Structure formats: C-alpha cells, structure tokens
Chain A
Amino acid sequence: MPLLMPAPEPQTLSRRDEIVSRLRAILGPQRVIADETARRAYECDAFTMYRALPLVVALPENVAEVSAILALAQEMNVKVVPRGAGTSLSGGSMPLEDGILLAMGKFNRILEIDYENRCARVQPGVANLAISKAVEAQGFYYAPDPSSQIACSIGGNVAENAGGVHCLKYGLTTNNILGLEIVLMGGEVFRLGGKRLECEPYDLLGLMTGSEGLLGVVTEVTVRLLRRPPLARALLLGFESVEAAARCVASIISKGVIPAGLEMMDRATIDATERFQPCGYPQEAAAMLIVELDGTVVEVDHLVGVVERIAKQEGATTVRASTSEAERLQFWAGRKNAFPAVACIGPDYLCMDGTIPRGRLPEAMLGMEALAKKYGLRVANVFHAGDGNLHPLILYDATIDGDMERAEALGADILRLCVALGGVLTGEHGVGVEKRDLMGEMFSETDLEQQMRVKCAFDPQGRLNPGKVFPTLHRCAELGAMHVQGGAMPFPELPRF
C-alpha cells in the first residue's frame, strides 16, 4: 500500500524564503524553525512508517499569533498542518514538504480550574495527564485516558477524539469537553460552548472533536472534571477460549453492570507481557479479562461479587479480585505494558484500531488468525472488550525486505474484516494517512462527498491538513455541483491517491 501524498506545490517551495521571513515577522526569529537539522525533529508523529520534512515549523504562543499565521497561509495559499505532541498513531500530524507545521507545544498553560462548575479551561498543548495531576489533590480527574496520556496533548485529543480504557463508562473526549476556542484558515477566531452543558445549534463543538485537524486549529479547551470515585477494584479472569471470555463480557453487560474498564488479552499478548514483566497472569488461559469496577465502597464490593458469580457461571478458570490498590495496579501493569512487551517479541509491530460489535469477537479472532496465516505474520491482540475496540498488533521485522508492506496489507485486510462484521475502521486512533485509502470500505462516494462539503464550510481552499482522512482531493467548487454526470470525473488534473 504505497502512501501517496499530494505532490509538493512548486509555487510554494519557490517562495519558501518569503514564507519564512513573514513568519519571523509574526513570531520573531526564535520561534520559526527553518534550519533543516532542527526541522528533522518534526518529520513524523507516532505513525513512524512515513516521514516528510516540513517546509518550516512555526511555534506560536498565543491566539493572535495563530490567527496571524492562518491569515498569512490563506493569503499566500500555503498548506498548514497543526501538531500537538505528535503522538498520533495514524499520521494525523504528519508534516507536508510544502506545508507550515503549526506546532502548538507552547500553549502549555492551565488557565482556570473551576471546581464549582466542575470544569477547567486549558491551552491545547497541556498534556492529558497534566490536567488530572493538577486537580488530583482536590479529588478530581479528567476521564479520557489514552495510553499516551503522559505525553499526548489535550488539543490533539480533541482533534482525534481520543479514547482510552475507561470509555465504556466515561466516554471519549467528545463526551468530556464543554467548550473550545478555534481559529479557522484565514484567521477568524470562534468560541464554541463554554461552561454550560447545552451547545448551540448546530453543535460545531461536537463536529470539531475528531475532525483530525482538518477544520480548524484549537487554541483553548474547556474540559469537564469528574470526582475520583472513592474506590476502584479490578478482577482478573482467565478463560479456556476467546469465545468463553466474550460470552462473559456480554453476560456482565446484560446483567446491567457497566464496568469502568473491561479489557481482554489473547494468549499471544499474555505470553509477551509475562515475559516482559511478570504480573501473575494465568499462563494456561487462552484469553484473559481485566474488569474494573469503581464507585462507592458498598457499591463496588457488591458489584465485584456480582461479576465473580457471572465469571464462574461462564466457566472462568481463574477468578481473582484485587483486595488492595497495589494489587489492582499489578493487575493492570501487564496490560499497560502490552505494547512494549509485544514490541520485544516483534521486533516491530503495527497497531491496528478497528471496532466491531462485541458479539462478533469470536468470528473476528478466527478471521484474523486465518489472515495472519495467509500473510505469514503473527498477530497479538489487546482489546477494549467493553466497547468492541480491537487493537491487533501485527508483528513484523522492518529489516526483512517486504515485511512492512506485508504487515500493512494484513492490517488493511483486518480492517476490512471489521467493517464486514458491522464495525468501523478506527475506534480511537483516527483515520489520518494510515486508514485514508480504506475510507471507501465504509463510506460511499456520496457519504464522503458530504463530509468533504462540511470541510469546505470551514476551509474552502482546502489548505488545512490536506491529504489526511479523505482518499481523494476535491475542490470545493466541484463538490458544490449536484451530480457527477455519467460517472465522469470532472477536474481530471486533480490528484487522486
């Protein structure tokens, strides 16, 4: 699957010096990175398979500067790629050779913490975990917890609608933010939402969340704060088959229990984590669940009993409930280290992110096994079992010629399988460049055109983060037309990739 990005535009490359000097006029010399060695640091995000050297890196530190840069970009018809902490797993902030990389890292302040209204106003470059750290002494936290939370920025979380292991009960980013300040191409600044729960019609706050940096640049976020539950306990459950584990998950939920976290690991992942850092996972199990319950003490103790009973009924071969915070953390330690653990047996891996209806899990596992065999590669699975979000880790060796391409092809087939089972291409990592060319598996051309028209409402010149999410570039004028006559594509000179 060769990845094609829009060809760098000669008219932009030829004006690079002018762009750099005009950016310096806005930001001063220190916060414009033009030097090639320094730009190298920005050549990719956490989707490291593909890299590009950005035209220039701009480091604004206030809204007025962002606005001025986006006005300049519009005026000079230059592309812009926004970037938070650069932890995107789908290449959402992969630079463009003819684009300004707008690095938002200097927006790193928490502006206001308002416990009475249970919210905080923060700048987009603040790390996800830093918000929870800032309010933990008062007993509060910010709920979405992607595994990269120590590094990933809240602005990037908004762009990607980041999830985490506690989504089933507490929702994704979109369910946990109240307000945004955004800047559009051209420099206009908007405030959406606020400290209230009701949004304006239309819900542009909801639309912005998960729009992968294609609609506007986030310059401020108002997040909801939740009170930390007094107690959390986890259960470790082992099963003889993936089917039995999946049945247990369905049974827990149909009994009316919504756990705070509900994770599944398959045999390959259990083996890898036990080798990496032994934490007492059941070695003989074909699949393992971690079920976390949180709330008040009486409630949690009651629910732990309920889940224990269900697990035994469903034939669990291991049933252990944490009796201390240390033990709970130990149950989680292996899961939290699953990715690096798998990397040790890899040596490289590609992390997929499809979601399926939970009930189709046994089929998905069998299908993946067959596909892995066909490609001669190994797949280890970690799975947010509560909400059906799969993370198959495809193991490959980048030093072997063609192995990476095989891994990518297997990944694409796995995502096609997810869609065929009633699921989707991505549950929390985003489309970016990684899944861009698979969008047609899930959406019709008409579906995609409507999405692109929404982009046109925000960015009519198509200059903000182009080449991401959509498999084909269209001009907004072209999308305004009611129909494509007789299947003939207008504007044949436009790049399609």
Chain B
Amino acid sequence: MSRVPQSESELAEVFRDAAARAAPLRLVGAGSKRGLGRPSAGEAVSLAAFSGVTLYEPEELVISAGAATPRAEIEALLDAQAQELAFQPIDFGALFGSGSGTIGGLVATGASGPRRIKAGALRDHLLGFRCVTGRGEIVKSGGRVMKNVTGYDLSKLVAGSFGTLAALTEVTLKVLPKAESEATLLVLGLDEPQSLAALRQASQSPLDASGFAMLPVGARALGLGTNAAAIRLEGPAISLDARRDELLRLLAHPAGRFETLEALASRALWRSLRDAEPVTQRPGQLWRVSLAPTDGAALLDRLRAAGASPSAHFYDWAGGLVWLGFEPAADAHAGTLRPIVEALGGQATLLRADDEIRARVGVFQPQPPALAALSRRVKESFDPAHILERGRLSAEF
C-alpha cells in the first residue's frame, strides 16, 4: 500500500517526516518507468492526486498540468488544437510493457526523441514547475511565459533528475504548432559511414530537416534489404517537394538511390524510431549513447574491434545518438562500452537490463570525482537526508 497525499502540504508533511527518520521514499505517478534508472529503495508515495490540466492557452503556446496527468490526455488535448510537444518525447510504454505514463514522469526522466536535433530537448521546453523538495518544502520556479531569466533556471535541474531532488506537483511546458505536413527522403544502398556522412551533409544544409536517422540493413521499422539514411522534412505542404528536390541534388551519390515516404508512412517511421523499435523489439540489453555526430560510426567500429558487436543498432540525430541492443552479459557490456564512450566524450545510458544488473553496474555514465561531488552537493541542497528515489541515479545517492 502506498501513501496518497492529497495536497502539496500533505506531501510536504510526508517528506518532512521521512527526512527526520532518513527513510527513503519512491515517487510513483503511473509506475510506467520503474524500469528506468537504477532500482530505488523505500516506501512508495503516490502522486496521483496531482492530476489534471490547470491551464492550456493554445495561442500562448503554453500548457500547465498536475504532474500525474496522463501523457495521453495531454497529447490528445494538444492534438485537438494541432499542437504538440515539439521535442517528440520517447514513449517507454513499449519498452517496459507499461502504459505511456504521466507528464511528471516524462519530465523527471527527460528523454527527447528524433526532433530534438532541430526543436530542442525536453529541458528546453520546461518553462516552470511546482514541487515539494526532499526537505518537505513547497517550491516553485520559472513561470508560464516563454522568456524568463528571473532567478536560477531550476527547470533544467529537475528535468531528467528522476525525482531525486523533488517531487514535481505541477509542470508548465511550451508547446508548438504541428507541422502542416511531412515527408521522409530515404537514401538507400550506401554503406554505414557513407549513410552517416549523408545525414551530416543534410543537417548542414539550409533545408531545415527535422529528423536524421540511419537504419542498418535489416533493421525493423523499414525492413529493407539495404542500409537506409532517413531525412524528415516538415512544414507547409507547398514547401516539401521543393526541399526534397534540393536534398536529392545535394545527396546524389553513385552508389545511392532514393525513395520518398509520404506523410502517413513518414509519420509511422518516425514514431517507431522515437520509441527505438528497431532495437527494443528484440530481447536483450539496451543502451542509448549520446555523442558528437561524427563519432557515431567510430563507436561501432571500436565496439566491434573490442569483440562487443551489438545484436541490433541504429543511429538518430545525424549520428549523435546511437541505440544499441546486445545479447545479455553479466555486466551488460558496461566494461567494454563505457571506456569507449568516455574516450569519445559521450554519455551512455543503460536502458534495459535486469534490476540486479542495473543496480550493480549502474545506469548512467560515471562522472569524474569532482563533478560527482558537485552533483551530490546539488542533490543535498534539495534533499539533504537522501530520502527521494535513493539509489536511482547512482549507488551513492
């Protein structure tokens, strides 16, 4: 049985009580992302009472909602006004066999999808929030306006903090109009480095594309008998053909051929890539690596050279995001992967592995000691007794 505080002050009371006893608490919205991060300890506290959209002004591009408002409810509301969360957040429902969760859970786990390369990340769209900190204090930060530099930007801190600083009670997000239409150009038949080079070339062009993914031969979602570089164009329908024709000229290659996916097929493809289906639909352990786009191919080369070839992989963000699926190993291949990623200046996150493995090898890229100590001081500024989601980010806190 979890506790279900009905108001911010009740939640604050629960936290103050737990802080006095240094008793750990787990924060639960819909419970859909329990498999993300390290397993955390403690009694469950449900945030279910903080649900419902409190403000939505489409012409002001802003929505506020209780943290436990279902993501699906928000998306349906935005969709009716032809708007969306522009960072195209990953839906972890498929990965964990759970629902799509709450808006607070989305903010707390902070994962952005394919359009991140053009439209920014979740952290770029969080305008403000209300929360109860690990001290049991009710705190607000930011606001509901687009442009605000009043005080520290704590929105950046709580986005992706996995509830380790505070329990969000209300979040305010910037929303944007959906593009009128979209199409995807596929460049087929190139090898992996050539495909990635084509993506980078497209990303340097002024054609304002909003997705740059590379699917190796056989990858699901397309299931083609060849490598595919996929470039998404969005905007007024009238501009799509002209921009695609320019891309064709730009990316002409003796070994390559082109195909176009019109709106419906394009939408289906990017939805599948958003949720990383080419790797999630196979069993096994799963990593997500963010690095400089030019280092994407090097990561795979070095993994193969080290005898740790992934069983499935694909690239997003023009090579700057690599999804890797592996056959299960006792350390989830962290011993091989992490030093390679570290040397490339990247960040590797273990997205799927047994609880015991995630607890033992950790989920996030280990930080240099000084940075880890600074992160710990930031944590303690919100939650000195380490009651919130203890262990979720690191074994230390």
Assuming A202-B378, A256-B180, is B238 touching A298 (CB within 8 A)? yes
Interface size on B, residues (CB 8 A): 88
Q: How far is the CA of A387 from the CA of B146 in the complex (A)?
A: 5
B123 touches A228 (CB 8 A): no
Q: Mark B211-244, 1 if CB is under 8 A from A, else 0.
A: 0000000000000000000000001101100110
Provided the pairs A204-B374, A480-B384 are in contact, do residues A355 and B145 lie with their beta carbons within 8 angstroms? yes
| CB of A7 within 8 Å of the partner chain | no
| Assembly CA distance A161 to B124 (angstroms) | 13
The smallest beta-carbon distance between A159 and chain B, in angstroms, is 10
Task: Give the shortest distance, in Å, between A221 (CB) and chain B (any CB).
Answer: 16
- CB–CB B59/A197 < 8 A: no
Q: Which residues from A are CB-within-8-Å of B152?
A: 207, 210-211, 451, 454-455
Tell me if B137 is interfacial: C-beta within 8 Å of chain A. Answer: yes
CB distance from A149 to the nearest CB of B (A): 17
Question: Is B73 an interface position by the 8 A CB rule?
Answer: no
Whether the Cβ atoms of A202 and B157 lie closer than 8 Å is yes
Q: A201-B162, A296-B208, A451-B154 are in contact. Are A428 and B149 (CB under 8 A)?
A: yes
The residue from A256, A302, A384, A469 contacting B178, defined by CB atoms under 8 A apart = A256
Instruction: Mark out the residues of chain B between 60 and 113 whose CB falls within 8 Å of any chain A CB in the assembled complex.
Output: 60-62, 82, 110
Q: Residues of A contacting B141 with CB < 8 Å?
A: 447, 450-451
Give the docked Cα–Cα distance between A426 and B375 (Å): 28
Q: How far is the CB of B245 from chain A (nearest CB, A)?
A: 10
Q: How far is the CB of A384 from chain B (nearest CB, A)?
A: 7
A116-B293, A253-B59, A302-B238 known; 7 new pairs, CB 8 Å cut-off, are A190-B370, A195-B291, A196-B345, A250-B60, A298-B242, A428-B147, A443-B151
Q: Within B265-297, which residues are at the interface with A (CB < 8 Å)?
A: 290-294
Contact residue among A160, A227, A303, A443 (Cβ-Cβ distance under 8 Å from B149): A160
Instruction: Name the residue of chain B whose CB is nearest to the CB of A256.
Output: B177
Question: Which residues of A are found within 8 Å of B140, using beta-carbon distances?
Answer: 443-444, 447
Q: Tell me if B381 and A457 are in contact (CB < 8 A).
A: yes
Partner of B144, one of A298, A357, A425, A453: A357
Interface string of A385-428 (1 = CB under 8 A from B): 01111000000000000000000000000000000001111111
B150 and A296 contact, CB distance less than 8 A: no
Q: Which residues does chain B contribute within 8 Å of A429, judged by CB atoms?
A: 149
Among the interface residues B60, B110, B200, which one has the most CB atoms of the partner chain A within 10 A?
B60
A-chain residues with CB within 8 Å of residue B139 when the two chains form the complex? 446-447, 450
- Interchain CB contact under 8 A, B291 and A356: no
How many A-B pairs with Cβ below 8 Å?
266
Taking beta carbons and an 8 Å cutoff, which residues of B are in contact with A? Answer: 16, 19, 57-62, 82, 110, 116-117, 120-121, 123-124, 133, 135-141, 143-157, 159-162, 165, 176-178, 180, 200, 203-208, 235-236, 238-239, 242-243, 246, 290-294, 317, 320-321, 345-347, 364-365, 367, 370-371, 374-375, 377-382, 384, 393
Assess whether A198 is in contact with B377, with CB atoms less than 8 Å apart: no
Contact B154 A207 (CB under 8 A): yes
Within 8 Å by CB of B294, from A117, A258, A424, A449, lies: A117
Residues of A contacting B371 in the complex (Cβ-Cβ under 8 angstroms): 190, 192, 200, 204
Given A115-B204, A256-B177, A299-B235, check contact A196 B145 (CB 8 Å).
no
By a CB distance below 8 angstroms, the chain A residues around B159 are 203, 206
If the complex has contacts A200-B364, A384-B147, are A359 and B57 also in contact, measured as CB distance less than 8 A? yes
Nearest Cβ on chain A to B94's Cβ, whole angstroms: 21
Q: Interface stretch among A170-178, A281-289, A309-317, A365-373?
A: A170-178
- Chain A contacts for B379, CB-based, 8 A: 202
Binding site for B on A (CB under 8 A): 114-118, 139, 160-161, 163, 167-168, 171-172, 174-175, 184, 188, 190, 192, 194-207, 209-211, 227-230, 250-251, 253-254, 256-258, 295-299, 302-303, 355-359, 384, 386-389, 422-431, 435, 439, 442-444, 446-451, 453-458, 469, 480, 482
Q: Give me the 4 closest cross-chain CB pairs, A-B, nearest first.
A: A206-B156, A198-B290, A256-B177, A195-B292
Contacts of A207 in B (CB 8 A): 152-154, 156-157, 378
Q: A227-B204, A296-B239 are in contact. Are A427 and B147 (CB under 8 A)?
A: yes
Decide: B320 and A197 in contact? CB cutoff 8 A: yes
Is there contact, CB below 8 Å, between B153 and A206? yes
State in angstroms the CA–CA spacing of A241 and B207 once bound together: 38
Which listed residue (B137, B147, B239) contacts A163, Cβ 8 A? B147
Residues in A neighbouring B60, C-beta threshold 8 A: 250, 357-359, 388
**A458 close to B178 (CB less than 8 A):** no
Chain A neighbourhood of B381, CB < 8 A = 450, 453-454, 456-457
Among A184, A427, A450, which residue has its beta carbon within 8 angstroms of that of B145?
A427
Chain A residues whose CB sits within 8 angstroms of the CB of B382 once the complex forms: 450, 453
Instruction: List residues of chain B with CB within 8 A of the CB of A201.
Output: 110, 160-162, 364, 375, 393
Query: Are A194 and B120 touching (Cβ within 8 A)?
Result: no
